[in-house]
Homo-oligomer: A and B are copies of this chain.
């Protein structure tokens, strides 16, 4: 028969590629789950609370599905719609029923999955493109093929678990009319999708590859690993090469890193189980494990940094991370993963999940080492990076994130050299994330909203420089993908953590360099954040520097002209049309301070606006007739017809407000003044505290750690070696600490 021939033919290829012996491709036993591990789950599962709860939860879920009965509707609705949700429920049911059959041996589960899959075997061959297909690649069961891939990844795991427990005739029917057809549709049937270097393609590869193992079809596996032509120019391995930086940072940002991680992890586990000789977890210096750890580092208090297209309510409590943590622990036994699993309160019904539950119950967990780090971006790590500065490893410590990464394709935002800040458990300087109500049908079927383009992606919606009310790269993603910021310097230790990066030609002829520093000061609960932005342009232009903050305004240091009776819109396009102007002001260098309250702590933002700059207090929500936007405040420093300019800002967390005790302390800033001087080859910023102390930070243009610098600060000479020097003074004396190592 042709299949044998194909198998034989592919064998040759396989052997060339050091593939597994055919033996491992025979029989019907599960290949995606090690049977030994399954036996242990049956024997010990109930013993460990985390796993036992998981088993109970899955039982409740699948038993409910059994009671409800099988519904395999003809695809109709977009995301959030009835048929969409039903097909999602179905793949979860097939997956769950398969696992439960393996763990409990109860054939009712196997039979349920079998019958549901037979219905799909009837339905699937009859399907064409989905009726609700939007601009994205159309699926057959779902409005976008991405969901079809996800369906396949889960369903094939459930099928694998029951495949040896059903009649051969049914097996053939399901093999051919569901899984082979789907795998074919998602591979040969969707070449454009399948050969992309993109997470949608990773899902496809995973689904196709895992199906290949289950159908004992090495050709499918080969296509999944090396692309349709099996040349290696596309496919899973190429995606591993190109989609992660050497530090395990994913090009599209944290939200999609979490999402993309799952197919990588699932397929890798399948590869490891079937072709250990590929040493997939060691591939590219262990990139998969790096990616898992990095994903966790990209979070605060359990929630992912909402950079680029991202839902701000997305946390480590997601399917993807339950899988990643279990897999990571299975592969490394690193006890730090256990504390994350503990926070998640969830794990997998898999041999790895069992290990997690067992060792967590045995008290083996260690805190996850959240740390300051520079995560390089780009396949070769030379496309900028994400600089994370943490005042400590705890959930409520201050975290400063400098977004100096590349654009990251279609889901990237035009926010080069932007930043966000967390403190005391709350977001303080914010990123809007994506304008989308995921899976809420009334909101454009749960897809990205028009405001995602008109607001969320635009530069003004972020905390970085806007020139002439246009966005970086003119808002053109193709152009944006050709340029990246340059991470000039990073120092992530001690009382002075600091990142310097530069962006050239985000606007033609404009270069801007930004230093963001986290300065610990004795007696301050959290470090202050210093922001120094130097812009040079080739022709006069309007510079806007927005600060999106979260909290309620408590105090404003400068006089305002308020729009009390009618509220105008700030601009016409590029996101400006979505901003209501509450007030404007023209502060001096001594009173440009804004104080807000967030949670039980105060935050004062003190600026040295360039002379002639004005401040705009605005709020998102204009030109939003369908109420698609959240309404959030922003402070904008505006400088007109400028070429060279320096913006200096200092954000200071202070005080405490206790609603229960009705006590308030230090509701006013403890900083008296902020000064900036330009030396020959450095910028010097001096912070004057109310108690008379001073903190001076000298930032050399040159990042060279060996270069020596000197400058006069208020008449006094200071000397340092490397990119920066910090000098703390108690009035008279001045203690210096060089930086830049």
Instruction: Spell out A's residues near B (CB within 8 Å).
Output: 80, 85, 88, 311, 313-315, 317-319, 437-443, 446, 552-556, 560, 562, 564-569, 580, 582-583, 595, 597, 617, 619, 622-627, 630-631, 657, 659-665, 667-668
Q: Which of B315, B625, B627 contacts A660 (CB 8 A)?
A: B315
Q: Which of B438, B553, B555 contacts A662 (CB 8 A)?
A: B438
Q: Which residues of B contact A569 (CB under 8 A)?
A: 564-566
Q: Which of B617, B626, B663 contacts A439 (CB 8 A)?
A: B663
Q: Is the CB of B631 within 8 A of A80?
A: no
Q: How far does the Cβ of A106 sit from chain B's closest Cβ, in whole Å?
A: 25
**Given A437-B554, A667-B442, A660-B318 contact (CB < 8 Å):** yes
Q: Is the CB of B659 within 8 A of A627?
A: no
Report Cα–Cα, A314/B439, bound state, in Å: 35
Q: Is the CB of A564 within 8 A of B623?
A: yes
**Given A555-B442, A569-B566, A630-B552, A80-B560 contact (CB < 8 Å):** no
Q: Is the CB of A564 within 8 A of B625?
A: yes
Q: Is the CB of A583 within 8 A of B437?
A: no
Q: Is the CB of A440 within 8 A of B597?
A: yes
Q: Which residues of B contact A568 (CB under 8 A)?
A: 566
Report Cα–Cα, A631/B552, bound state, in Å: 10
Q: Is the CB of A80 within 8 A of B622?
A: no
Report Cα–Cα, A257/B284, bound state, in Å: 66
Report Cα–Cα, A556/B626, bound state, in Å: 8
Q: Is the CB of B625 within 8 A of A314?
A: no
**Given A552-B627, A597-B440, A659-B567 contact (CB < 8 Å):** no
The residue in chain B whose Cβ has the minimal distance to the Cβ of A578 is B564
Q: Which residues of B contact A582 (CB under 8 A)?
A: 627
Offer 23 A-B interface pairs, CB within 8 angstroms, sorted by A.
A80-B664, A314-B660, A319-B660, A319-B661, A437-B554, A437-B597, A438-B662, A439-B657, A440-B554, A441-B664, A441-B667, A442-B555, A442-B595, A442-B668, A552-B627, A556-B626, A560-B625, A565-B569, A566-B566, A567-B580, A582-B627, A583-B625, A619-B631
Q: How far does the Cβ of A656 sit from chain B's closest Cβ, in whole Å?
A: 11
The residue in chain B whose Cβ has the minimal distance to the Cβ of A630 is B552
Report Cα–Cα, A631/B580, bound state, in Å: 13
Q: Which of B438, B554, B556, B622 contacts A659 (CB 8 A)?
A: B438
The residue in chain B whose Cβ has the minimal distance to the Cβ of A627 is B553
Q: Which residues of B contact A556 (CB under 8 A)?
A: 626-627
Q: Is the CB of B442 within 8 A of A659?
A: no
Report Cα–Cα, A580/B566, bound state, in Å: 8
The residue in chain B whose Cβ has the minimal distance to the Cβ of A441 is B667
Further pairs besides A446-B664, A552-B630, A566-B568: 8, Cβ < 8 Å:
A80-B664, A319-B660, A439-B662, A439-B664, A440-B664, A441-B668, A552-B627, A565-B622
5 nearest CB pairs, A to B = A562-B625, A553-B627, A442-B555, A567-B567, A313-B659
Report Cα–Cα, A422/B560, bound state, in Å: 38
Max chain B C-beta neighbours (<10 A), residue from A553, A569, A597, A660:
A660
Report Cα–Cα, A52/B623, bound state, in Å: 57
Q: Is the CB of A567 within 8 A of B311?
A: no
Q: Which residues of B contact A441 (CB under 8 A)?
A: 664, 667-668
Q: Which residues of B contact A597 (CB under 8 A)?
A: 437, 440
Q: Is the CB of A659 within 8 A of B311?
A: yes
Q: How far does the Cβ of A26 sit from chain B's closest Cβ, in whole Å?
A: 37
Q: Which residues of B contact A665 (CB under 8 A)?
A: 85
Q: Which residues of B contact A565 (CB under 8 A)?
A: 569, 622-623
Report Cα–Cα, A205/B595, bound state, in Å: 40
The residue in chain B whose Cβ has the minimal distance to the Cβ of A316 is B660
Report Cα–Cα, A290/B705, bound state, in Å: 72
Report Cα–Cα, A315/B661, bound state, in Å: 11
Report Cα–Cα, A691/B313, bound state, in Å: 33
Report Cα–Cα, A625/B560, bound state, in Å: 8
The residue in chain B whose Cβ has the minimal distance to the Cβ of A565 is B569
Q: Which residues of B contact A627 (CB under 8 A)?
A: 552-553, 556, 582, 617
Q: Is the CB of A667 within 8 A of B440?
A: yes
Q: Is the CB of A567 within 8 A of B622?
A: yes
Q: Which of B443, B583, B617, B663 contacts A85 (CB 8 A)?
A: B663
Q: Which residues of B contact A553 (CB under 8 A)?
A: 627
Q: Which residues of B contact A567 (CB under 8 A)?
A: 566-567, 580, 622
Q: Which residues of B contact A664 (CB under 8 A)?
A: 80, 85, 438-441, 446
Q: Which of B88, B440, B626, B667 contacts A657 (CB 8 A)?
A: B440
Report Cα–Cα, A657/B438, bound state, in Å: 9
Q: Is the CB of B562 within 8 A of A659?
A: no
Report Cα–Cα, A564/B624, bound state, in Å: 7
The residue in chain B whose Cβ has the minimal distance to the Cβ of A583 is B625
Q: Which residues of B contact A562 (CB under 8 A)?
A: 625
The residue in chain B whose Cβ has the minimal distance to the Cβ of A655 is B440
Max chain B C-beta neighbours (<10 A), residue from A567, A623, A664:
A664
Q: Is the CB of A317 within 8 A of B566?
A: no
Report Cα–Cα, A627/B319, bound state, in Å: 41
Q: Which residues of B contact A318 (CB under 8 A)?
A: 660
The residue in chain B whose Cβ has the minimal distance to the Cβ of A555 is B442
Q: Is the CB of A314 within 8 A of B659?
A: yes
Q: Which residues of B contact A439 (CB under 8 A)?
A: 657, 662-664
Q: How far does the Cβ of A438 sit from chain B's closest Cβ, in whole Å?
A: 6
Q: Which residues of B contact A624 (CB under 8 A)?
A: 564
Report Cα–Cα, A85/B655, bound state, in Å: 13
Report Cα–Cα, A442/B88, bound state, in Å: 52
Q: Which residues of B contact A566 (CB under 8 A)?
A: 566-569
Report Cα–Cα, A437/B196, bound state, in Å: 55
Q: How far does the Cβ of A595 sit from chain B's closest Cβ, in whole Å?
A: 7
Report Cα–Cα, A555/B657, bound state, in Å: 37
Q: Which residues of B contact A630 (CB under 8 A)?
A: 552
Q: Which of B442, B583, B619 contacts A554 (CB 8 A)?
A: B442
